[in-house]
Amino acid sequence: MQLLNFSVTSEDVIFEDNHLIIINKKSGMLVQSDQTGDIPLVEEVKKYLAHKYNKPGNVFCGVIHRLDRPVSGLVIFAKTSKALVRMNELFREHENIEKKYLAIVLNKPKSDTDTLVHWLVKNTQKLYAMVYTKEVRNSQRAELYFQYISTFERQHLLEVTLKTGRFHQIRAQLSKIGSTIVGDLKYGAPIPNTDASICLHSYSCTFLHPIKNEKITVIAPTPNKNAWIDFK
């Protein structure tokens, strides 16, 4: 696996004010700690803030949402407890927030645009989402909208807008319709990317600022590697 330097620099910061800091996460990095013991992004952001503002001691940095380890793109952190509470509510209610992703898939969907509705059941042992076309026991409704953008050498770029926020939702739903994401072995891709990433990128988020009550839109450039280079 390719070794990556995960230290956060100013180039990784997409937006920052007194209340929030938004990072363009590199694929392969955890947002929060897990059993691997690897240093998560939240700790790297704390180091960045401590250095930038010369702050001694522990720096507050609240995790608002997560992004799967092999996925790249926008991750929003709160710099104050007040912002954390309000942003958590925003994400929980899915109001006044719109998240868009870019996905490179192996097979072009039958329709150029479509709304997908499935029911997902999380397998906690295998960390895998099972997908059903109708409601089953312990399932959660999952909805997304996708739009076909372009094709390069039998790989296809889609823009995906989340309507709900479920575990592995985009990966599982696209795989269910036969459009597995490039590099995503867990959901049916035949070969991995060399760095163990998948070609899914959280590239755009529009939300109501939790303190200023202003609409904010942030966009994260796609990685300069793997199939992303072909779609620049």
Start-to-end CA distance of the chain, whole Å, equals 24
Q: Domain containing 175 — which CATH number?
A: 3.30.2350.10
Residue 4 lies in a domain: no
Residue 135 placed within a domain? yes
For residue 158, tell me if it sits in a domain. Answer: yes
Domain that holds residue 151: 10-231
Q: What are phi and psi of 6, to 5 degrees?
A: -95, 0
Continuous H helices in the chain:
41-52, 81-93, 169-176
Is residue 1 predicted with pLDDT exceeding 50? no
* pLDDT > 60? residue 2: no
In a domain, 2, yes or no: no
Once rounded to an integer, what is the mean pLDDT over residues 214-231?
A: 96
Residue type, 58: N
Question: Are the beta carbons of 8 and 47 closer than 8 angstroms?
Answer: yes
Question: Does some domain include residue 5?
Answer: no
What is the C-alpha separation between 91 and 165, in angstroms, rounded? 8
Model confidence pTM above 0.75? yes
pLDDT at 96: 87
**For residue 122, is it within any domain?**
yes
Q: Is residue 213 part of a domain?
A: yes
Q: Which pLDDT score, from 0 to 100, does residue 6 have? A: 63
Q: Is residue 157 a contact partner of residue 231, using CB atoms and an 8 Å limit?
A: yes
**Which pLDDT does position 158 carry in this prediction?**
98
- Domain count of the fold of the chain: 1
pLDDT mean across residues, the chain: 94
pLDDT of residue 37: 81
Residue 95 banded pLDDT, cuts 50, 70, 90: confident
139 has a pLDDT exceeding 80:
yes
d(Cα 111, Cα 192) in Å, to the nearest integer?
A: 26
| pLDDT score recorded for residue 5 | 54
